[in-house]
A and B are shown apart, each in its own frame.
Chain A
Amino acid sequence: MAGRERAAEIRAAIDDLARVDGASPPLIGHVCRTCLRLAKAAGVCAAVRGEAGLYEPLCAVGPVGGAMAELQVTVGEGPGMETVNGDRPVMVGDLETADVQRRWPLFAPAASGLGAVTVFAFPLLVGAVAVGTLEIYWTRRPLGGAALVDGLLFADAALMTLMTGLAPGGGADDSYLDRWPQVHQAAGMVSVQLETGPAEAYARLRAYAYANDQSLREVARRVVEKELRFSPGMDS
């Protein structure tokens, strides 16, 4: 099928989904959910480049989407993290191969462990600058070139959506994001506890989550609900 026809088809599918939610124009969540369905993927994440080049998730859908986004924030590496700081797509056919495991020593084994096999990450480019990324994860390898073309078209749609408004969410099934603000709230709280800046506090939260094998959102929830405090001498 010609690229232009496919683009129109994808655009229409996103608009249809947005209409069901009474949203116009579509939100980033509608782009991700449409992509998940049409690409028969196991996870789709949209993220932008946050402070200091960190990966800041905007939306994550599908069985592995939320876990992949959170994992990248926690360990500070991965396909999306690489894409928001570069200008070219990252495509990995098999996350279990040795060179991929070397490329992302923390991300790749954990992602494989959660069932992800293949990932395509597309930069959302404005001119030559990547402002974000759209990642698509599969639990088995997708078929050939169609997935690549679709991915590029969905990345275009995602960028357009971001440019019309930075609104996240856009779907009742996007519960992943509901607790995301807590991560930044917790960073604010920990910055007071440690008498440091929020960037350093954020790094400490991520290190704690990784070292204790807990999800970053769970650690953040415990901080916000005052179950967990950080102290300057504490070892994460």
Chain B
Amino acid sequence: MLERRLGEMFVELADTLVAGFDVIELLHTLCERCVELLDVDAAAVLLADPRGALAFAAASTEQARMLELFQVQDEEGPCLDCFRTGVQVTCGDLGLEPQRWPRFSAVARDCGFTGVTALPLRLREERLGAMNLLRGRAGDLDEEAVMVAQVLADVAAIGLVHERAFGRSELIVEQLQSALTSRIVIEQAKGVLAERGQISIGEAFTLMRRYARDHNRLLSQVARAVVEQAPEVADMLATGTRRDA
């Protein structure tokens, strides 16, 4: 039974490796399946942002979400230790080690959790975040469960890295393209205005800059309107000629 469900779970996670999936969706699936397959009551994931600071990403229950938010805010807890060291961190009974994470332990017990196990989300050396498995009862999670959870976390990590690489490069390409395009459009717009108003390229540029400033718009937006022969071009030329007269 477990084996079959595990197999389905891998297929489900592997599906996310196809482009166009949602990271939060992936992590929610990870949390929910851990609760379903293993002897845990809740699961939650923290992810590192580009600067390396952890932030809440997903949780199977509202209590788990609360606890993780506290953990991030207080900068104390098993997930943070796990992320920092890159290895599993576990505590079978928070009541027996009150000094280990004093604030985290108090909030965890208020939320109804006694045992925690934090597993790293990582791909080779790159640390991406950590997953917390939470239990109401005291006692260590059995070895096999920890292994299964780590394997699931590793599969999810591949999905994360894939998405990040994809998302990042798209953004850079977009920025490069738009920076370039607006430069070209500004030159084209100078030509359009110069021809329509029978003025010099220099005068056309001055006119466009002044119009952008007076109307509190970006130069590239005004240039785009000029190239597309928007009605405001006539307005711009009329204003320019009047002021120059």
Contacts and interface: CB of A to CB of B under 8 A. Distances in A.
**A and B pair up:** yes
Interface of A: 48-51, 56, 126-129, 131-132, 162-163, 166, 181-193, 197-198, 224
Interface of B: 165-166, 168-170, 172-173, 176-177, 179-181, 183-184, 187-196, 201, 227
B188 A127 contact: no
A50 B188 contact: no
A198 B192 CA distance: 9
B187 A188 contact: yes
Nearest to B181: A51
B184 to A, nearest CB: 5
Contact of B165 (A56, A127, A188): A127
B227 A188 contact: yes
A132 B190 CA distance: 26
Nearest to B180: A48
Given A127-B169, A188-B191, A166 B176 contact: yes
B176 A163 contact: yes
A129 B195 contact: no
Contacts of B195: 188-189, 192-193
A50 B179 CA distance: 11
Contacts of A192: 191-192, 195-196
Contact of A191 (B168, B179, B192): B192
Contacts of A183: 187
Given A128-B169, A129-B173, A166 B180 contact: yes
Contacts of B194: 185, 188-189, 224
Contacts of B183: 166
Contact of B168 (A127, A182, A185, A187): A127
A126 B172 contact: yes
A56 B183 CA distance: 11
